[in-house]
Each structure stands twice: as structure tokens, then as C-alpha cells.
Amino acid sequence: MFVTMNRIPVRPEYAEQFEEAFRQRARLVDRMPGFIRNLVLRPKNPGDPYVVMTLWESEEAFRAWTESPAFKEGHARSGTLPKEAFLGPNRLEAFEVVLDSEGRDG
């Protein structure tokens, strides 16, 4: 499994608008081959970034998404917030899962 985490620093006064943008998203990624799940994580500590996490069957599936017309369309629609809504640039991190204990006790 392949996981991406996009850390997005959002000004507190834009937090609700940022979250609403994800609630109203186009959902184009949901139909991509190899897509598993999308999570939007709200920070508990003021000043920490939001984390948008996507889970994929493989890195190749993620790369195919980033090179697709649907990716361009989905990200064009997400530009509804002004630049001043963000405290700085986002940071994309990528991971390969080496252990997944989902559904297992202890």
C-alpha cells in the first residue's frame, strides 16, 4: 500500500471554508483505479497544518492519478480559497506501508 500526506497550513479564520471545500469536492479521485481512501485530518493544536491523506494500492496507481485529466480537473475546482487562507506552502509526503494492523487485536 502507498500513502500520501499533504500537510496544508490553513489560517484559523479559513478553517471552516477549507473543510467545506473538501466536503463539496468533485470526488473524481474516488473512481480512480487503485484508490482506497481519503482522509482530511483537522489539527488539534493551533498552528499545526491540516493533513490530507490518501491511501492507494500502489505508488503506480497514485502516479496515474496525478497524471490524469481528472487530477487536473479536481485540483482546478479546489482553488476556491484565496492565497491569504494559507499560512505557507503545502508539503507532500509519500510513504510505503510496511505494517498494517487494521482489524487485528492488540
CB 54 within 8 A of CB 37: yes
Predicted local confidence at residue 28, as pLDDT: 80
Burial class (CB in 10 A: 0-12, 13-18, 19+), 10: buried
d(CA 50, CA 15): 9
Q: What is the pLDDT of residues 6-44, one digit of tens each?
A: 999 999 999 999 999 888 876 788 889 999 999 999 999
Domain containing 41 equals 2-96
Burial class (CB in 10 A: 0-12, 13-18, 19+), 29: middle
Predicted local confidence at residue 98, as pLDDT: 95
Q: Per the domain annotation, does 41 fall within a domain?
A: yes
Q: Per the domain annotation, does 74 fall within a domain?
A: yes
Predicted local confidence at residue 73, as pLDDT: 79
Predicted local confidence at residue 101, as pLDDT: 87
CATH code, domain with 53: 3.30.70.100
What percentage of the chain carries pLDDT values higher than 90?
65
Domain count, the chain: 1
Q: What is the pLDDT of residues 66-89, one digit of tens each?
A: 999 888 877 765 567 899 999 999
Q: Per the domain annotation, does 105 fall within a domain?
A: no
User: Parallel, antiparallel, or unpaired for β 50-56 and 91-96?
Assistant: unpaired
Which pTM does this prediction carry?
0.85
User: Parallel, antiparallel, or unpaired for β 2-8 and 35-41?
Assistant: unpaired
